[in-house]
Amino acid sequence: MLFHKMPFNYVPAKNLLDEKIVLITGSTGGIGTALSMKCAELGATVIICGRSIAKLEKLYQSIFELGLKEPLIYPADFLGTKKDDFQILTKKIEKEFGKLDGLVLNASLLGNLSSLDDYSEKMLDEVMQVNFKSQFLMTQCLIPVLKKSESASVIYSSSSVGRKAKAFWGAYAISKFTTEALVQIWASEHENISKIRFNAVNPGATRTKMRAQAYPAENPRNLPTPEKVILPYIYLLSADSHCISGQSLNSQDKP
């Protein structure tokens, strides 16, 4: 995997994502919420996706009250979603918009932080279902509408433990290694057959609920907020990164 660095002085243009349709999973918290808001501010029509309808409606209201383009709500619990669900979604997007310009696979399940010796089969299945299988199937089903975009971008949220494994990170680390593999395989397979770009972003330590679960003794005030780590996602969603595919970016790289 090549670890690409975003231009350190990158500043998104005001209407950078104007006329773009962007679907973001895990929209109801942390990085997903911050990214959904920013994409809408930059002109995109955002399809917000998450488990909690109440949180999706709250996010919808926040975007709507700013006078931005009306978002669409797509409730989904990836523990139970099937390929048929994503095929239905694809048809809805094609009917409503005719294309999809951006897909951000951000939803993740932490699972248990325990040794592999003691890791339960149930938790293994759940983490791999949310972090790998559902994301693979969603991407696979959405390929036809992504191909209809002039410059589609697919972005997976990765992790440092998906590059160098750490003890006790179990299925989460395994799933993030899989994420990096998906990016490499899809990018190489589409290099000469479509304009779809596939990349990953490792946001690094961020002030989120998942981070607090993984490091309960850590002071969250010492960590950057989600709003501070989303710039690489914006960069990869834009035409400014039109030649970049098969790469893995770090949100907290220093210039």
Return the SS3 of 32: helix
Nearest to 159 by CA among 243, 76, 229: 229
**DSSP per-residue string spanning 98-134:** S---EEEE--------S-GGG--HHHHHHHHIIIIIH
Catalytic residues: 172
Given a contact cutoff of 8 angstroms between Cβ atoms, the answer to whether 154 and 186 are in contact is yes
Instruction: Report the distance separating Cα 73 and Cα 77, nearest Å.
Output: 13
Nearest to 144 by CA among 152, 156, 136: 152
Nearest to 172 by CA among 230, 213, 137: 213
Q: Classify each residue of 49-78 as buried b or exposed e, where b means 16 or more C-beta atoms within 10 Å of its C-beta.
A: bbbeeebbeebbeebeeeebbebbebebeb
* Type of residue at 105: L
Chain centroid, CA 42 distance in Å: 17
Given a contact cutoff of 8 angstroms between Cβ atoms, the answer to whether 241 and 198 are in contact is no
Give the strands of the sheet with 247-250, arranged side by side. Answer: 72-75, 45-50, 21-24, 102-105, 153-157, 197-202, 247-250
